[in-house]
Amino acid sequence: MITALRAVLEKEFLLEYRTRYGVNTILLFVLVSVSLIVFSVSAELLTSELTSALFWNTAFFAALSAMQRGFVSEVERGTMLFLKLSATPTAIFLGKLIYNFLLSLLVNAAIAVLYLGLLSLVIENPTIFLTTLLLGSASISIVLTLISAVVANTSARGGLFAVLSFVPLLIPIFMTVRATRIATQEDAPFFRAETELQILAAYTLVMFFVALMLFEFIWEE
């Protein structure tokens, strides 16, 4: 399975290198979103609550714009059958998931840099923020990878993908916003964000195993 997983992962990176669809789409969205926010607030000072919400709002929609094509692109290129014959469902799911996670983590780090530089986002506790960034990227990637597989063979893929993603991502979005807000507070100890991070970690683990079990059924159908 390791060999098949590596092959799927290499395929994803090679395809992205050739087309640059996902990276270009996300970067354009992020730049436009952050620019609009900067011009809208002008010289106004944003509260930590609002900045945290805007940060994860940008991250959420950036992930939506790129990850919906994870399995949809296989259908459009006619490579779905070849992929089914070449690797096990588990290897395919893990390969797609790892790629989406790395992409999400990279994009969220870029968004953080833009918010720190342009919107005066101040992180008082880097440990809380980095942990939130890691768990938030993981939970979003797991949910969107699974939903991308669900909608791949449907006709209204774009709209259905957004609708199905909304409810499963409510918990991670709420928890990441709350944890990020705590990370911006002065002299905030790590234990103050323990509840949010524990819920986020538990949700990520549960969704990972649920997605792993459901994917084989979805893939075979």
Segment-wise mean pLDDT, segments of 10 residues, the chain, 221 residues = 77 74 78 85 74 88 79 69 76 88 90 86 89 94 88 70 82 90 86 91 94 83 64
- Range(s) of the domain holding residue 183: 2-220
- Smallest CA-to-CA distance from 58 within 144, 179, 195, 173 is with 173
Q: Give me the DSSP letters along 142-185.
A: HHHHHHHHHHTTSSSHHHHHHHHHHTTTHHHHHHHHHHHHHHTS
pLDDT digits (tens, 9 = 90+) for 83-131: 777 778 888 889 889 988 998 898 899 899 988 888 878 888 999 999 9
The tokens 């797609």 sit on which residue?
96
- For tokens 């524990």, the residue is 198
Shortest CA distance to 209 belongs to which of 56, 99, 43, 93? 93
Containing 133, the helix (H) or strand (E) segment is: helix 126-151
Nearest to 67 by CA among 31, 96, 106: 96
As for how many domains the chain has, the answer is: 1
pLDDT of residue 22: 67
Q: Specify the pLDDT at position 128.
A: 92
